[in-house]
């Protein structure tokens, strides 16, 4: 079998790509965030109504308080604005408990892709709204006795910013920390809000549809959507292009 370049939308407003920025939850790690949001709903709303689709569209990628408010509003909870802080605090306590039990794992394709991008000589950053992201990455031990936390050249996880995703502030900060010009960066995201933030920052947006949600990532403006990061054509990426790798019989 031989590889060839897939036809995919070319990132507009971009030069050749030469740096990568990674979200954490849903991209690098299978974390208990969604479970914590759902289980913390006790006393606020019916947990069964908090679906994965709702989590992805309303909560994922947003700062904690913004996510809490969005979830309560989506569920039609009375006085959502007044109750959002209490819900956010309940979610944080539940998340910390779940992390403490080891309910965090890394996606194998993500680890392979991170290593491949580093091997290309691209600087890489990690950027998550979650203040728990660094703790979770430190729990992922790599073969060289380092943790996932250690492999990134820049880390802006959990920083207090004026606005959360879909505002591009966190990704622009990550690019500045590398440093790399935004137009030369690609952002790996699994949530529509993150895709929108990347595009708003003038960056290429690579969507990872791990939950059969490719349509929403395309709709948010992704330049490319894959179900596994193993699908990325690394040869084309080395030339600054974000493309899907496809195979055809010899």
CA 119 to chain centre: 21
> Final residue of a domain: which of 57, 79, 100?
100
**pLDDT confidence of residue 249:** 59
What is the distance between the alpha carbons of residues 217 and 214, in angstroms, rounded to a whole number?
A: 5
Q: Output the six-digit token pair for 122.
A: 């691209």
For residues 88 and 109, membership in a common domain is answered with no
Q: Is the pLDDT of residue 31 over 90?
A: no
Region 220-235: mean pLDDT is: 97
Q: How many domains does the chain have?
A: 2
Domain identity same for 84 and 184: no
Query: Using 50, 70 and 90 to split pLDDT, how confident is the model at 238?
Result: very high
> What would the mean pLDDT of 70-87 be, rounded to a whole number?
95
Q: pTM of the full predicted structure?
A: 0.82
Cβ 22 vs Cβ 198: under 8 Å: no
CA-wise closest residue to 18 among 140, 154, 178, 177: 178
pLDDT at res. 246: 77
pLDDT tens string 171-184: 999 999 999 999 99
- Average pLDDT in the 132-151 region? 91
94 and 125 inside one domain: no
Residue 46 shares a structural domain with residue 131: no
Q: Which domain holds residue 175?
A: 2-30+104-248
What are the helix and strand counts (H, E) for the chain?
10, 10
Task: For residues 125 and 237, state if they share a domain.
Answer: yes
When pLDDT is cut at 50, 70 and 90, the band that residue 248 belongs to is low
Distance of alpha carbon 186 from alpha carbon 156, whole angstroms: 16
User: pLDDT tens across 185-208, in order?
Assistant: 999 999 999 999 999 999 999 999
Residue 201's domain is classified under what CATH number? 3.40.50.1000
- Domain finish residue from 75, 100, 125: 100
Residue 129 region by backbone torsions, left for phi larger than 0, else alpha for psi between -120 and 50, else beta: alpha
Of residues 85, 87, 52, 65, the one with CA closest to residue 191:
52
Kindly state the average pLDDT of the residues 203-225. Answer: 95
Per-residue pLDDT band for 78 (boundaries 50, 70, 90) equals very high
Q: Residue 181 has which token pair?
A: 């010009």
**131 and 216 co-located in one domain:** yes
**Half-sphere exposure (CA, 13 Å, Cβ side) for 166?**
15
Residues 89 and 208 in one domain: no
Residue 244 and residue 10 in contact, taking contact as beta carbons nearer than 8 Å: no
pLDDT tens readout for residues 33-48: 889 999 999 999 999 9
């Amino acid at each position: 079998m031989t590889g060839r370049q897939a036809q995919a939308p070319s990132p507009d407003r971009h030069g050749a790509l030469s740096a990568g920025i990674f979200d954490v939850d849903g991209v690098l790690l299978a974390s208990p965030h969604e479970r914590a949001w759902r289980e913390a709903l006790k006393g606020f709303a019916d947990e069964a109504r908090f679906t994965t689709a709702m989590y992805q569209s309303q909560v994922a990628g947003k700062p904690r308080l913004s996510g809490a408010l969005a979830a309560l509003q989506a569920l039609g909870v009375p006085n959502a604005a007044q109750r959002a802080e209490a819900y956010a605090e309940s979610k944080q306590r539940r998340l910390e408990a779940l992390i403490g039990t080891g309910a965090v794992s890394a996606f194998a394709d993500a680890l392979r892709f991170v290593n491949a991008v580093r091997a290309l000589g691209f600087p890489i950053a990690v950027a998550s709204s979650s203040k728990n992201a660094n703790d979770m990455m430190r729990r992922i031990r790599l073969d060289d006795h380092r943790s996932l936390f250690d492999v990134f050249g820049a880390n802006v996880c959990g920083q207090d910013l004026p606005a959360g995703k879909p505002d591009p502030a966190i990704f622009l900060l990550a690019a500045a920390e590398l440093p790399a010009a935004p137009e030369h960066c690609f952002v790996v995201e699994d949530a529509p809000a993150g895709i929108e933030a990347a595009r708003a920052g003038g960056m290429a947006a690579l969507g990872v549809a791990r939950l059969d949600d490719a349509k929403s990532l395309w709709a948010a403006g992704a330049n490319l959507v894959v179900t596994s990061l193993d699908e990325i054509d690394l040869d084309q990426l080395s030339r600054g292009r974000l493309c899907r790798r496809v195979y055809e019989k010899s």
